[in-house]
Chain A
Amino acid sequence: MPIRLRVEGLSAKRGEDLIFHDISFIVAAGEALIVTGPNGSGKSTLLRVLAGLLVPESGVVRLDDTTADISHPRELCHYLGHRNAMKRELTVEENLSFWKSFMGDSVGGSGIGLEEATEALGLGGISHLPFGYLSAGQQRRMAMAKLLVAYRPVWILDEPTAALDAAADRLFAGLVERHLGAGGIVIAATHQPLGVAARELRMTGFTGVCEGAES
């Protein structure tokens, strides 16, 4: 059954400051939503609220039409923040296999194998190396492999391609495309175009928010 992410009247505070106010949108299965806007407009805050890491001031985040029995939408989400959530001391393989078995798969899909995932990101054959040995771009790509090894229908990505070169950018766009094609949802905050057809949510800071057209 296709899922649908519904956000109604969301507003959030950080400390005492109201970051954004009354955001509503619906993202259906197979759709991507790009969150854009200048620095400080609250993109990251919005994503953290969606991922259930911040409690919204008002409003709700709902996942409709799912067969899954969940207590919170965040359990069906992948969150790729600014930090990679990988340990420098462990090898890439140890990192990924930990997240694979710790996160498990959500209903409706299953993650792919470790080697397959690193191949998909163009970094096959070096998963035996400690994560700390990799360059910043490689680390980011290995962190993206997490998205593949454990299945989640919703991907929440915060500046996913900031440290990537053009080739890796295209590679990642392909992965996003495939995830959308399989009925997934992608919500990404980014400055660069993601390379996939997506709706755009322009955040303009506290002055207001407007939803743009298909880009």
Chain B
Amino acid sequence: MAKHSGGTRMISLFLRDLKLSMRAGGGALIGVLFFMTVVAVVPFAVGPDLNLLSRIGPAILWIGALLASLLGLDRLFQAEREDGSLDLMLMQETPLVLTVLVKCLAHWTATGLPLVIAAPLLGLFMNMNEVAIGATMLTLLVGTPAITFIGATGAAVAVTLPRGGLLVSILVLPLAIPVLIFGVSAAYAAVQDPAPFLPPLLILIAITLFFAVIGPLAAALALRSASD
């Protein structure tokens, strides 16, 4: 019935969300900064032993990225709800699932992708070698979208709560454990010889694809029932 396709609608939504996260007050760079800070304080706790740091490097990078991608997730729908935009999104003929999916993709591009790009720099701080850095970067690239998709569900569930931020993290972290497990084990498999690299990576990709479907579906359902 619409005169123009759903594609244009989704592209305009994607670009708008990207713009919003780049503008003043947007969370795009805060996430990277948080990531850097978390990773940077680890040596102060475990000591500056370079061998130890290079051994735990991939794990630290993954935990840092996990925490950083949770940051700002609570605002994903809450900001839309506060100014009334969510009402209008709920009313459109465009399936809500699609709207949520595009919002997740925009959120990941603004906050998840910078983490992936910053990872090599932090890898150097952790004294990781080139292979370990490359493997960690790759696993972050395919793994962090899953965190955003799961997080969207938590954000939608907590959308009506005034202080949902912490709650979203508590809700989402346990659900993100599989991502962490396979992300870290794939990164380690690349450097430690006997372990195979491909199987955990493929499982990680499968998890991301799975949550790309489940996350937006659940989030859309939660948003519909949270409307009041």
Contacts and interface: CB of A to CB of B under 8 A. Distances in A.
Direct contact between A and B in the complex (CB less than 8 angstroms)?
A: yes
Interface of A: 14, 48, 51-54, 68-71, 74-75, 77, 79, 81-90, 94, 97-99, 101-107, 110
Given A83-B84, A85-B83, A53 B9 contact: no
A61 to B, nearest CB: 13
Contacts of A110: 3
Contacts of A90: 16, 19-20, 23
A40 to B, nearest CB: 16
Contact of A106 (B1, B8, B24): B1
A105 B2 contact: yes
Contacts of A84: 83-84
B83 A83 contact: yes
B155 to A, nearest CB: 18
23 contacts: A52-B90, A52-B91, A53-B87, A69-B1, A70-B1, A74-B90, A74-B91, A79-B88, A81-B87, A83-B82, A84-B83, A85-B83, A85-B84, A86-B85, A89-B20, A89-B23, A89-B24, A89-B25, A94-B19, A98-B12, A98-B16, A102-B89, A103-B92
Looking at B8, B16, B25, B82, the one whose CB has the most chain A CB atoms below 10 A away is: B16
A102 B84 contact: no
Majority SS at the chain A contact face: loop
A58 B8 CA distance: 37
A20 to B, nearest CB: 15
B227 interface: yes
Contacts of A68: 1
B13 interface: yes
8 residue pairs, one from A and one from B, having the closest CB atoms: A83-B84, A85-B84, A89-B23, A101-B12, A104-B2, A75-B93, A85-B85, A74-B91
A45 to B, nearest CB: 9
Contact of B91 (A75, A86, A104): A75
Contacts of B24: 89
B4 A101 contact: yes
Contacts of A88: 83
A54 B224 CA distance: 9
Contacts of B89: 102
Nearest to B12: A101
B88 A103 contact: yes
Nearest to A88: B83
Contacts of A14: 228
Contacts of A97: 12
Contacts of B2: 104-106
Contacts of B1: 68-70, 106-107
A94 to B, nearest CB: 7
Nearest to B94: A102
Nearest to A95: B16
